[in-house]
Amino acid sequence: MKLHDVIKVKEDIPEENLEKGMSGVIVAVLRDPCLAYEVEFCDENGRTVTETALLPEQIGLEKQIPADHSDTNTGKKDFLIPVDELLAGRLTEIAESRHIPPEALIELWLKEKISESYQQA
């Protein structure tokens, strides 16, 4: 697993208010004193609920983001793009079902499409 991959929690972690099956995004890879992943969990509005270090055995890979298209943490720009209200509602429903913010879902889908377009070229 690597930076920006989407993970799922494998077990309940009550001290962090995490339930089995919750999705989060890896925001840092830690190597000292042992391998661990700093994972951010957001609510349906995209607000961070918790950010915590988890061990590899506590999480499983849900969605791998291609390395050649992932953000290198040099910063992001916000783009305001008008979206049909029904489409936005459906997008929010899908994001909520995956326990990730809609912005993260859009970013994942855009990265997939860009990756596909490079593979087809």
For 57-83, write each residue's pLDDT tens digit: 999 998 876 655 444 454 566 566 777
Q: What is the pTM of this model?
A: 0.55
Query: From the centroid of its chain, how far is CA 39?
Result: 9
For residue 88, give both structure tokens: 């936005």
Q: By percentage, how much of the chain surpasses pLDDT 70?
A: 86
7 pLDDT above the threshold of 80 = yes
Taking the domains of the chain in order of start, what are their residue ranges? Answer: 6-120
Mean pLDDT check: name the lowest of 11-20, 32-41, 70-79, 96-105.
70-79
The alpha-helical segments, DSSP class H, found in the chain are 85-97, 102-120
Nearest CA to 59 out of 108, 11, 121 is that of 11
Q: Name the average pLDDT for the chain.
A: 83
In angstroms, the CA 20 to CA 16 distance is: 12
